[in-house]
Structure 1
């Protein structure tokens, strides 16, 4: 198989990608996005439909005096019109919790009115927070339900492959469950975090970095301390499932949810981000699986890593065929233009930056993760 350019997408020889993995000699870092869990778990439009329907049902059980159901009925048509990304919907609802402090209020007149609150933005914010919690909770619940019967066989070659590590932006437990099924010990490092800026792992064969948190992480000593006093969060309990409480009775997962910036100075996230950067520096190849290049802190790190050495390469496995990838539209388009010698923008024949250097550094593979991932690393 050779190369071909079709509908703005560069298709490349899988054999070449396999050669790159072998040449990396264990210095390959795997980055998993939501598409890495497809088709086992619902994503995009399917997940959004499940969550909206679940909240419709849940609001039927609120006390008669609660205004949350009425608020939900008011905002649901707007949310349904926004698109299929559940984290975009979450961010939209979140704006209702800080209208009084949002600087756009100085420029935009006529925020959507909710007559039942009579201008009481504090009560509006309180009820919007209820809905926010439901959006996140029902999303994690849908993922947890689906992963119970998820096929895991395609992850076994990844678990056994030589690599720098596995980074996942997902909250699910597919990798941990695959490790249990195939007898490969996996460490997330969650219970080893000491509250500082370093992240470390156990002696397990596979190190899994869950950059945006996990549905199974609970703050270990931030609330319900035996003294009755609040103390700084200095670690995590790692439970076996979404609905399992930690020894301190905490059920709330530690995750970063919502679109937009996912950078935060709180909890373990600075340590997790630092570990991601450290792993990138030790890697010669980045294998991106089902990631849509929408998280700025991840994209910026990838761009920086790729630009600092001409020997660094990227393989992208994308289960969603894209009709157009524009150079100026997203990180993926920019990377293709800068790193793939045969890439052309869909609306012009301008050669890429890499073409002038005569060296291709990026391979884009479109297809199902269940078939492509094992074929790449087996």
Structure 2
């Protein structure tokens, strides 16, 4: 009997396609930024290195391994906050590091300074004007740099670098083909938290119609699908080829809309009314502006029709996704959840207590002490393999190849 499966993809699902993992992506973005002389000159590289160094120092001070790498989403969130640090609610209660005052573009002499000074000195009683000009010069050369503006530019450049890093080639996504047959030849629903186009390319190679629903989104909370689509792909955090823009709505107020980007992202002019259509960073995974709330509702709709869920490479760190999963798990217990993640089964130590993975493991290991029998509230199947070998096994043996997680102790 065919069982309808919903697929949920996290960052680990795209590593085999050449997309860097979150911890290694920070290093790669740093290399891209450092290769630009303009970024060095404007202080962008200085700002990036400062943020990375401060985060490593903070983590190692608490005893963590400083060589584990910096999670790119946490780093981006820090950069976002530093770009608006004086507007944060906590600003009146904290004292920012004095090192931030040194971050920014090199000091510039005020325009036409020499001409204006010469003119002031030649005028009768012009010494007052000359004195003011000299004061302006001293302040420009020795004054505090605008670090917020520099971090705002860094935020933009990190997004541009991200788009380059998650670009995948058609030849690199062949391992994803088994996902298209996960429902035994019937159409498939895939929800991804990744920005890359690996699923679109895999569907194209298989001759299947793939629809993200974004081209028909009209600013409302509804999410419409192409009736002829074989793959319904919900990109909860956006896509590298989406541009989120503003236009005048019928009621006279502006409204967001998404268009598909044509050409390199570097050619797009970032502004307050437009930018890449992605949700990046650990802060603000849900935005009121754009299609993201509508997509969360669509996620709930897809879950309601799913009989089981296959999760690949997701670290369960997005609260909004986890809440939706919890609603599905609790709606008809015990549900069947399949997880492909090399590190998932190790989430049993005290340091992981309180994590969503730990909660799932506890539900799967539920034990009725009165009856002295295992009574799992969740049928949890866990594969410790990476996406490519796990999917290759699916192609031959089906999802049943993932072993059921059972309680290891009485």
Q: What band does the TM-score fall into relative to the shorter chain?
A: 0.7 to 0.9
Displacement, 1:98? Answer: 2.1
Tell me the SS of whatever aligns to 2:166. Answer: helix
Q: Does 1:78 align with 2:54?
A: yes
CA shift in 2, pair 1:358/1:231, >3 Å: closer
Task: Using the TM superposition, give the Cα deviation of residue 29 of structure 1 relative to its aligned residue in structure 2, in angstroms.
Answer: 0.7
Superposed CA deviations along residues 29-87 of structure 1, whole A, max 9, x for unmatched, are 100000011222211333221111111122x22495x3445434544422565633111
Q: Quick one: structure 1 residues 53 and 113, their matched pair in 2 at CA, closer, same or farther if it must change by over 3 Å?
A: same
Show the 5 A alignment for 1:86-125: 86-116=72-102, 123-125=146-148
Secondary structure of 1:361's match? strand
In the alignment, which residue of structure 1 is the partner of 2:358? Answer: 333
Q: Which residue in 1 is equivalent to 2:300?
A: 277
**Deviation by residue 1:294-330 (Cα, 9 ceiling, x = unmatched):** 1110111112221221142111001446644346231
Judged with a 3 Å threshold, the aligned counterparts in structure 2 of structure 1 residues 178 and 142 are, in CA distance, closer, same or farther, namely: same
Counterpart check, 1:151 vs 2:172: yes
Residue of structure 1 in register with 2:26 after alignment: 48
TM-score by length of 1: 0.78
Distance 2:225 2:328 in 1: 23
Distance 1:311 1:240, change over 3 A: farther
Structure-to-structure mapping, 1:5-84, within 5 angstroms: 25-40=2-17, 41-58=19-36, 60-62=37-39, 66-79=42-55, 83-84=69-70
- Partner deviation per Cα, 1:221-267 (whole Å, 9 max, x = no partner): 626x8xxx98422x322247764979xxx994200000144012110
> Hey, what does 2:242 align to over in structure 1?
217
The equivalent of 2:124 in structure 1 is none
Q: Would the alpha carbon gap of residues 332 and 255 (structure 1) be closer, same or farther in structure 2, given more than 3 Å must change?
A: same
For structure 2, which runs of at least 5 residues remain unmatched after alignment?
A: 60-68, 104-141, 399-410
Matched, 1:303 2:303: no
Aligned match of 1:139 = 162
Tell whether the 8 Å contact from 1:170 to 1:214 is kept in structure 2 after alignment: yes
Match of 2:337 among 314, 317, 320: 314
Match of 1:180 in 2: 204
Write the distance in 2 (CA, Å) between the matches of 1:338 and 1:119: 58
Q: CA offsets per residue over residues 176-226 of structure 1, 9 Å max, x none?
A: 01111111111111101111001111121110000000001123x626x8x
Q: Output the CA distance in 1 between the equivalents of 2:161 and 2:11.
A: 17
Does the 8 Å contact 1:245/1:251 carry over to 2? no
How far 1:154 sits from its partner (Å)? Answer: 2.1
Unaligned runs of 5+ in 1: 1-22, 343-349
User: For the residues of structure 2 that align with 1:193 and 1:172, how far apart are their CA atoms?
Assistant: 20
Alignment root-mean-square deviation, CA: 3.1
Q: Report SS of the residue matched to 2:190.
A: strand
SS at match of 1:140: helix
Q: Deviations over 1:323-353 (max 9, x none)?
A: 44346231111011113458xxxxxxx98xx
Distance 1:336 1:323, change over 3 A: closer
Aligned residues between the structures: 332
- Contact 1:33–1:291 (CA<8 Å) still a contact in 2? yes
Aligned-partner Cα distance in 2 for 1:182–1:164: 13
Residues 288, 315 of structure 1: 8 Å contact kept:
yes
Taking the aligned partners of 1:375 and 1:112, their CA distance within structure 2 comes to: 55
Match of 2:393 among 360, 371, 375: 375
SS for the counterpart of 1:100 is: helix
- Structure 1 segments of 4 or more deviating over 4 A? 79-82, 117-121, 239-246
Superposed CA deviations along residues 272-297 of structure 1, whole A, max 9, x for unmatched, are 00000111111121111000011110
Question: Which of these two proteins has the greater Rg computed from alpha carbons?
Answer: 2
2:311 alignment partner, SS class: strand
Partner SS for 2:233? strand
Matched with 2:216 is 192
| SS of residue in 1 equivalent to 2:25 | helix
Shift of residue 374, structure 1, vs aligned partner: 3.8
